[in-house]
Structure 1
């Protein structure tokens, strides 16, 4: 699993939440790092902030989708933006949770997206 967020506190919080539930989690601080990490490793799920400097999460998601023709990762967007759900949908993200992220909501959304992807 890959967590992408420019806020180090948010990134650490999400990593702790997901590892406590048994996930192997990699973290990166930006969209460019997300693309590099995805291409370098086998990642099934990406939890990605939408608003980040240099490259927004929706832009990174679109780039990752262009690089992969077969097995697509499940991408869940996170944001406090009013138009966050719409941006996530337009970028091809599979799911969305608002910030601040509630642990159970994120886990439920990841599970829902994984079931739908099968």
Structure 2
């Protein structure tokens, strides 16, 4: 079974690192630079897992998660966040997050997080 992943982060460099790690095992269907773009993509793309930053300009990851979960209740959301943002994880979980990894991360860490939420 192919797992379709949407990568959401306002940093192109972080998206590139995530794309490299994720595409080793999963199918990256799209990337978004902010929450609003992620929501637009979720309207049209088949998304199984979203790897999402929390802090982004405009629509942040928490708000985008709540909206994406309304569109795709079965989609799994994994936050990829810095250690200093861990205090924001409670609102993220309330919005529908299924897991998180902290930046910086090893490729295997993000791959294992995806395996955990889809199993």
Which of the five TM-score ranges fits, normalised by the shorter chain?
Answer: 0.7 to 0.9
Q: Give the number of aligned pairs.
A: 113
Runs of 4 or more off by more than 3 Å in structure 1?
none
Q: CA deviation at 1:13?
A: 0.8
Paired position in structure 2 for 1:108: 112
Determine if contact 1:88/1:95 at 8 Å carries over to the other structure.
no
Q: CA deviation at 1:22?
A: 4.2
Q: Please, which of 78, 87, 91 is the counterpart of residue 91 of structure 2?
A: 87
CA deviations over 1:30-85 (Å, ceiling 9, x no partner): 001110111111111110001101011011000112234xx521110111113143
Q: Give the aligned CA root-mean-square deviation in angstroms.
A: 1.4
**Could you say which structure has the higher strand fraction?**
2
Q: Distance in 2 between matches of 1:32 and 1:96?
A: 20
User: Whose RCO is larger (CA < 8 A, sep 6+)?
Assistant: 2
TM-score, L = length of structure 2: 0.87
TM-score, L = length of structure 1: 0.87
Matched position secondary structure for 2:28? coil
CA deviations over 1:9-30 (Å, ceiling 9, x no partner): 0011101111122423411100
Ranges in structure 1 where 5+ consecutive residues have no aligned partner = none
Q: Distance in 2 between matches of 1:50 and 1:31?
A: 9
Q: For residues 53 and 26 of structure 1, do their structure 2 counterparts lie closer, same or farther at Cα, with a shift above 3 Å needed?
A: same
